[in-house]
Amino acid sequence: MAELPGWYDNDIDRVIVSADDIRAKTEELAKQVAADYAQADSVLLVCVLKGAVMFMADFARALGRFGPPAELEFMAVSSYGQGTTSSGVVRILKDLDRDIAGKHVIVVEDIVDSGLTLSWLLKYLQSRSAASVDVVALLRKPEAVKVTVPVKYVGFDIPSEFVVGYGLDYAERYRDMPYVGVLKPEVYQR
C-alpha cells in the first residue's frame, strides 16, 4: 500500500530503511530473541529514550507474540547535543525505576553510532547485578565496529550519514517519521 506523503518527505534525500523493512526486521529480531530466551521466566527490556521509543514499542509487541513475558523499563541518557556527532559525554537524565538484580536485561536501542552510549550503559547495568545483559539495536553505523561493544542482535547496518526518522531526530524533529531516511544537508546547514 502506497503511503501518503508526510510533511517531512521534502527534507529527506533518500529512504534508508522503509516502514515495511522495519516491520519485517523487528519480527525477525523478536523471533531470534524469543528462541534464545525460551528458558527464561521473563526478560526486562530497557529502552534508551528518546530515540528508541518507536522500536521499543514495536519490538515489545513482536516479542509478546513469540517470547517470554517482558517487563518494560525506560532510561534517558545524553550523549549528543543538537549537533550531528557524538560528544562522548554520557549522563543519566532518567534512571531505572526498579532494581534489576537477577533479571535478564535486554537493552533496546535505535542506533549504535560511536558505541559510546552503549559501552557506558552496559557497564552500568552490569554493575547493578543483572543476571545477563544483551543488546538489540535496530541500526548500526560503521563507526560502531571501532569500539568493542557486544551488540548481539542488529537490524540493519547503515552508511555513515545523518539519518532521521522512526525515533531518530534532528533538533527534536523527525522522530515521528515512519521510516529512516537521510536528512538533506541543507536542512541542518540552514
Positions annotated as catalytic residues are 113
Interface with ligand PRP: number of residues (CB under 6 A): 20
| 118 Cβ contact list (under 8 Å, min separation 6) | 107, 109, 112, 135, 137, 149, 151
The site string for ligand PRP over 13-52 (x = CB under 6 A, - otherwise) reads: -----------------------------------xxxxx
The answer to the question of residue 165 lying near ligand PRP (CB under 6 A) is no
Count the Cβ atoms, other than its own, within 10 Å of residue 125.
21
The answer to the question of residue 108 lying near ligand PRP (CB under 6 A) is no
The answer to the question of residue 122 lying near ligand PRP (CB under 6 A) is no
**Residue 88 CB, nearest distance to ligand PRP (Å)?**
8
Give 34 or 105: the residue with its C-beta nearer to ligand PRP.
105
The answer to the question of residue 110 lying near ligand PRP (CB under 6 A) is yes
Q: What angle do CA 10, 165, 62 make, to 5 degrees?
A: 140
Select the residue interacting with ligand PRP from 33, 54, 111, 187 (CB under 6 A): 111
Beta partners for residue 133, in sequence order: 105
Task: Using only the alpha carbons of the chain, give its radius of gyration.
Answer: 16
Give 51 or 181: the residue with its C-beta nearer to ligand PRP.
51
Strands 153-157 and 132-140, sheet pairing: parallel
Residue with cell 523471533: 31
The answer to the question of residue 87 lying near ligand PRP (CB under 6 A) is no
Interatomic CA distance for residues 100 and 142, integer angstroms: 31
Binding site for ligand PRP (CB under 6 A): 48-52, 78-80, 86, 109-118, 169
